[in-house]
Amino acid sequence: MLQAIMMSLVLLGIYKLIDHKKPESDDADIDWWVTVSFVLAPMFLVFMIGSMISSAGLAVELFLLAYSLYFFIPFLYLIGLMDYSVKKSFKYAIWVPLVAIVIEILVIIIRSGISS
């Protein structure tokens, strides 16, 4: 859960920097709760897909495909529910998998440092 909070805060900061350039937009603002949903929904699905892949004994490479959900869920959310354009949705959604990977690596490094 701490990982999801860290990811949401980083995403919120990035989105505020992106929105800082054009504050007079007619689009709905992306707030804390939206960034949390951008993180928790894919995180839960990646966990479920990962456990299904490992229990079924399938190739681990399939697990990497699950990480594409970090892009597609926010992208479709922004297009479908917030009526953003495709270009603007892509601009916002592309940050989610990048932040997810960076925070995941940081959490793994911190956990390995604590356990040793």
The number of domains in the chain is: 1
pLDDT value, residue 26: 67
Residue 102: band (very low, low, confident or very high) from pLDDT cuts 50, 70, 90: very high
The residue-averaged pLDDT of 79-103 equals 93
- What is the model's pTM? 0.84
pLDDT value, residue 58: 86
Q: Which domain holds residue 102?
A: 2-115
The residue-averaged pLDDT of 18-39 equals 81
- Each residue's pLDDT tens digit, 39-56: 999 999 999 998 998 899
Helix, strand, coil percent values for the chain (each to nearest 5): 80, 0, 20
pLDDT value, residue 18: 87
Instruction: Assign 3-class secondary structure to 31-50.
Output: CHHHHHHHHHHHHHHHHHHH
> Are 108 and 15 a contacting pair, CB within 8 Å?
no
Q: Which of 54-58, 78-82, 87-91 has the lowest mean pLDDT?
A: 54-58
